Structure 1
Amino acid sequence: MSLNHITIIGGGACGISAFIELFLQFRIAGLHQQVSITIIEENQEVGKGLAFGTKQPGHILNTQADLMGIHYTEPQHFSEWLIENAESVEDEVVDNQGRNEAFTTRRLYGDYLKAQFDHYFELAQKEGMQVEIIHASALEVEKTRDGFTVHLSGEKTHSCHYLILAPGTPVANNYPDLENKKNYFPSPWPSSLIIENVPKTANVGVLGSSLSAIDALMTLADNGHEGKITFYSLDGLLPRVQPENPEPYECKFLTLKNLHQIQRSKLRNPKVKELFRLFMQEAEDYAGKKIDWKATERVGKPASELLKQDIRIAQEGGDALIVIPYALRYTSSEMWKNLDESERIRFKKWLGGYWGINRHCMPLVNAERINRLFDNQQLKIIPELKEVTHDPEKGFVLTYGDGQTTTEEFLINATGPASSVKMMKSELMAALAESGLVEPEPVGGIKIHAQTMQIVKDSKPYPNFYALGHITNGTLLDVNAVWFNVKTIGNLCQHLTSQIFEKAS
């Protein structure tokens, strides 16, 4: 084993970004030949996981290009890459906001990730750094005296001194009784399974109505699906629609300053109700009038009518309920850290659904396609889903509302990524939790140190053990934003390299 061997589990956006930043920091410090980096990635192409390996044109990033760069402090790098490669990527850009703010296909972003990784992997080799890729699944981690041993598929093992978990977005295992049932798809990914196994004339049920459900819908629509498609979800809410050419907005009331004033005046952390009061004050100031808050409730209203309204609002630049959450993108995680655990749980219960649909909106181009599917009566949404079972003769039986039932022959689970560890369909995460190497965070994900990204065990940072991305959702909240994950990667790399720098000095 090398003097300082670093292993990254996961070759997606977070794993690639961490690899590049670590290489740069070590190379600039002249310590790159004293370190080796290994990436463990189960797919044959780094950067081309389930979501970014898709070939479907309707699978569009839900964030504009100038926030998707994977280089630390360079969020615009992806949009700059698009401009540099304009001739070869033109058909992949869904440009409803202008070149720098354009939305692109997921498959194009996968090409970008792979291009960045290939360049820096080759550069690291030329500079004399020991780097390698192991194409295998990480199944279990064992703590050793010198570091860690990772147990891999194929009954292989790999040892290292420093370990970074970057396994990507975990698929939910919320319907285990449906696993292995004929015509059940546990995830919208890979989309090829849906395309190859669902007849175009078949009626299809989709569990969920969020961005993952929209991805499943676009898979079907892109391939000329003719049958009826029904979304089944708890609240029946679609994501709202991202505004065209939104004006920059800076919050005046819901600010870190005002939250700190609560802390120093009341000697406690803010309550969710206090945050919501500040939000209401912010929204009414933005709107320039009092808001009928009861009228903003969306549960129970027809999704098709709400979508038409949202398209119009997006075309007009957005409303307070969208503009303010987007304006908070750079401070929401810090605000989240200022809440006690009980208040975080309360926030998710009271406001989580509305935060999600307003903070993580769909691009206008997808909204317009969905609107046409509603108009053609090919798509409908059924809320208040209660239960899903399988009947060998009837197929999938879905119970909703006051006990009404319906059946579907084909069913796609698109409820979105798992938040809690116990719901993650991951052999690695299950093994880590069972062994006690990671501790579940009650709000979601695993316990980590928010500044260094070290995994926390027994209330203390675990030496040389780090985590990135969605598995840190309970502590950091905004972990599905690439720019935010890249920021945390910068913090992680600075901490990890400082440990090695101290050993070298």
Structure 2
Amino acid sequence: MHLQNITIVGGGACGISAFIELFLQLRIADSHRKVSITIIEENSEVGRGLAFGTREQGHILNTQADLMGIHVSEPQHFSEWLIRHDDRVGDEVVDNQGKNEAFTTRRLYGDYLAEQFQHYFRLAQDEGMQTEVIHASALAVTRLGDGFSISLSGNKTHKCDILLLAPGTPVGNKYPELEKRSHYFSAPWPSEPILDRIPKDADVAIIGSSLSAIDALMTLTDNGYTGQIHCYSLDGQLPRVQPEKQEMPERQFLTLKNLHEIQRTQLRNPTVKEVLRLFMQEAEHYAGGKIDWKATKRDHKTAGELLKDDIQIAENGGDALINIPYSLRYDSSQMWKWLDADEKLRFKKWLGSYWASHRHCMPLVNARRVLDLFEKGQLNIIPKMEGVEYDEHEDAFKIEFDGGKTAFEKYLINATGPASAVEHMKSELMQNLLKSKLIDPDPVGGIKINTETMQVISGDQVSPNFYAVGHITNGVLLDVNAVWFNVKTIGNLCRHLTAQIIGKAS
């Protein structure tokens, strides 16, 4: 009997969550011996991926533990794991208001992921399912009827019947012309090249001031760097600070009910203006009065002054502009689906950076460390960045900002965050999939998929036996940088795929 092979490209959080849930659903349906599962992972260890493979103490989860469970419908599994493994946690729980609300190091979370994978991989084999891990890079995919042939590094190929893309967080290639420069680092991770090639007393420039830049700052701080650090970005805004005890307000205005009422009465999807108007009503209701919306642009103080204010706000439970977006956590993806493509683009243009800095906050422990850099005079945030190039005469990176001003920097870390558009993803696999037209880029970002089943859409049609999860779906879905949300979509994917397999087997 031919065993259908399911191949998962990517052995990070999304890949192992999909593996575990597929095994569980197939085992419960007594169909686990009718398929084999292969995981293709370029790193030597499955489970950590780029995001959670870091070994830096200062790289902290930006989400509390009770939302980080890797198992479908069990978001608190990681916090329960922390309690069971209290003897080995030690200093890895860095911001602890009780294990459920803890913020831990990403390396500890990587340990959790690796342990979960190893357990269920062995269990699947013990139960009679054929499984394997191929340590190689997936470079290209070719259609073979309803199946696939995957080109791997080392001049190898692998054939499968069902393909699931879970390549993790894509590093951007925004400045490909700088890649050949040994003093340029295309991402803050892994940290080893940065630590190997930048002297401890050197001045360092960072492009970006969002959460990725915070990781770069923590890498430098944890390893005793003493030089000046200059962060260049468009808006010069740091992320807001996660409150110690964050409230989940009960919303009255910006609700699914009210947005659906627009659909029902107007026979159209809501607009960004309507969503923003409801948000402003919600925020002022929560704040108990009018808000000076001009002041929320946060351009009236320096980044250091704003951070000092934000830490105090976080210590007192947050404000409307943090807590209302936080309360949207479980509804925001559905709201996003209800926006037309042009409205999504309008949202990203008008409100994208505002949403990112208020919804995706930095942990309080890191905020205090960043403030210390400001107070020591070691850190400077420079807004209105316009461009960067390498100047051969100066043997340095020339950065232009604020209407033609220039600065020359010897060491440059790109911390602008993950790539959104497929064409900007630094991935040979994604570029080859795009060239071969096996995927269609979504105009908002990532690739087109069926959001209910996670099937890839190509040529405006669902592509049989082809699925995708995680950040590469960032245009049609909103919260793809959140583990809990990706795990939820993986549950939908696995239910659909299991039904397909059981139907074919019968």
| Counterpart residue type for residue 64 of structure 1 | Q
Cα distance in 1 for partners of 2:421, 2:251 equals: 31
TM-aligned CA deviation for residue 2 of structure 1: 4.3
Relative to structure 1, the CA distance from residue 148 to residue 300 in structure 2 (aligned partners, 3 Å threshold; closer, same or farther) is: farther
Cα distance in 1 for partners of 2:224, 2:81 equals: 32
Cα distance in 2 for partners of 1:59, 1:500 equals: 40
2:396 aligned with 1:402: no
What secondary structure does 2:294 align onto?
A: helix
Task: Tell me what 1:209 maps to.
Answer: 209
Contact 1:96 1:364 in 2 (8 A): no
The alignment of Structure 1 onto Structure 2 pairs a total of residues equal to 505
TM-aligned CA deviation for residue 146 of structure 1: 4.1
Give the TM-score taking structure 1 as reference length.
0.99
Give CA-to-partner distance per residue, 1:448-488, whole Å, 9 cap, x none: 00100000112221111000000000000110000000000
Cα distance in 1 for partners of 2:458, 2:223 equals: 47
1:78-93 to structure 2, matched below 5 A, reads: 78-93=78-93
Cα distance in 2 for partners of 1:3, 1:188 equals: 41
Q: Which sits farther off after the overlay, 438-447 or 192-201? A: 192-201
Cα distance in 2 for partners of 1:203, 1:2 equals: 60
Unmatched 5+ stretches in structure 2: none
| Counterpart residue type for residue 441 of structure 2 | P
Task: Tell me what 2:231 maps to.
Answer: 231
Cα distance in 2 for partners of 1:54, 1:327 equals: 30
| Counterpart residue type for residue 378 of structure 2 | Q
Give CA-to-partner distance per residue, 1:235-264, whole Å, 9 cap, x none: 111100001112232211101100011111
TM-aligned CA deviation for residue 297 of structure 1: 1.1
Task: Tell me what 1:304 maps to.
Answer: 304
Cα distance in 2 for partners of 1:320, 1:139 equals: 46
Give CA-to-partner distance per residue, 1:409-460, whole Å, 9 cap, x none: 1000110000000100000000000000000000000000010000011222
Cα distance in 1 for partners of 2:199, 2:137 equals: 32
Task: Tell me what 1:196 maps to.
Answer: 196
Q: Which sits farther off after the overlay, 452-461 or 205-214? A: 452-461
Cα distance in 1 for partners of 2:82, 2:180 equals: 41
Contact 1:66 1:77 in 2 (8 A): yes
Cα distance in 1 for partners of 2:357, 2:96 equals: 20
Contact 1:232 1:385 in 2 (8 A): yes
| Counterpart residue type for residue 11 of structure 1 | G
Contact 2:248 2:326 in 1 (8 A): no
Cα distance in 1 for partners of 2:436, 2:13 equals: 27
Cα distance in 1 for partners of 2:257, 2:399 equals: 48
Cα distance in 2 for partners of 1:471, 1:300 equals: 36
TM-aligned CA deviation for residue 91 of structure 1: 1.5
Contact 1:96 1:365 in 2 (8 A): no
Cα distance in 2 for partners of 1:96, 1:231 equals: 29
Q: Which sits farther off after the overlay, 242-251 or 364-373? A: 242-251
Task: Tell me what 1:382 maps to.
Answer: 382
Task: Tell me what 2:220 maps to.
Answer: 220
TM-aligned CA deviation for residue 189 of structure 1: 1.0
What secondary structure does 1:50 align onto?
A: helix
2:334 aligned with 1:337: no
Give the TM-score taking structure 2 as reference length.
0.99
Contact 1:2 1:36 in 2 (8 A): no
Identity among equivalent pairs (%): 68
1:98-137 to structure 2, matched below 5 A, reads: 98-137=98-137
What secondary structure does 1:51 align onto?
A: helix
Contact 2:146 2:464 in 1 (8 A): no
1:211-360 to structure 2, matched below 5 A, reads: 211-299=211-299, 301-360=301-360
| Counterpart residue type for residue 472 of structure 2 | I
| Counterpart residue type for residue 247 of structure 2 | E
Cα distance in 2 for partners of 1:393, 1:46 equals: 45
RMSD over aligned CA atoms reads 1.0
Runs of 4+ that moved beyond 3 A: none
Relative to structure 1, the CA distance from residue 97 to residue 393 in structure 2 (aligned partners, 3 Å threshold; closer, same or farther) is: farther
| Counterpart residue type for residue 401 of structure 1 | D
Unmatched 5+ stretches in structure 1: none
| Counterpart residue type for residue 148 of structure 1 | F
Cα distance in 2 for partners of 1:125, 1:182 equals: 44
Contact 1:66 1:79 in 2 (8 A): yes
Cα distance in 2 for partners of 1:50, 1:337 equals: 28
